[in-house]
Amino acid sequence: MAEQVYWEDVTEGMELPFLVKEPTTRQLVQYAGASGDFYEIHYDKDFAIGNQLDGPILHGALKSAFLGQLVTDWIGPQGALKRLQCQYRGMDAPGNLITAKGTVTRKYEEDGQRLVDCTVWLENADGQNTTPGNATVVLPSRQG
């Protein structure tokens, strides 16, 4: 695990360490089981095609979980996630690489907390942003 990031170390415009995911249909079944979301478009090819899709697609909530991991990996065990927002603009299919990325957009203090806003998104193998979003985190200070 990476070293703890502190609020003082952060600068606006800096990139979060990216996270690569390669979801499979097996993972979508696993996610269906763990989350209880058994909508068939996520694992049943015939059902998905009957719904005018090319095949199974990722659960939106699984994509937001990838963005959650991107951010929680970065903020480390002493940081806290305050807000995680994203839109499912483009569909992602299993079997394709997805890269979760983020950039720091704002660093500020509010109500005694040291906060950072980030733009976060998922990029598909063609470099398209399928899942734009934002996150707000609290980071620890080197001053304690």
User: Which residue from 61, 108, 128, 141 is in contact with another protein, where contact means CB under 8 A?
Assistant: 61
- If one asks whether residue 55 binds another protein (CB under 8 A), the answer comes out as no
Q: What is the DSSP string of 99-141?
A: EEEEEEEEEEEETTEEEEEEEEEEE-TTS-EEEEEEEEEE---
User: Which residue from 6, 14, 37, 93 is in contact with another protein, where contact means CB under 8 A?
Assistant: 37
Phi, psi dihedrals of residue 37, rounded to the nearest 5°: -95, 95
- If one asks whether residue 66 binds another protein (CB under 8 A), the answer comes out as yes
- In the complex, what is the shortest distance from the CB of residue 88 to another protein, in angstroms, rounded to a whole number? 5
Residues contacting residue 50 through CB under 8 Å, at least 6 positions apart: none
CB-nearer residue toward another protein: 37 or 117: 37
CB-nearer residue toward another protein: 102 or 133: 133
- Coil, helix or strand for 74? helix
CB-nearer residue toward another protein: 13 or 112: 112
Angle at 131 between CA 123 and CA 140, to 5 degrees: 90
- If one asks whether residue 65 binds another protein (CB under 8 A), the answer comes out as yes
- In the complex, what is the shortest distance from the CB of residue 107 to another protein, in angstroms, rounded to a whole number? 19
Asked if 28 and 38 touch (Cβ cutoff 8 Å), the reply is no
How many residues touch another protein under the rule CB under 8 A: the total is: 39
- Coil, helix or strand for 20? strand
Residues that bind another protein in the complex, under the rule CB under 8 A: 1, 21, 23, 27, 30-31, 33-37, 39, 51-52, 59-62, 64-66, 68-69, 72-73, 77-88, 133, 140
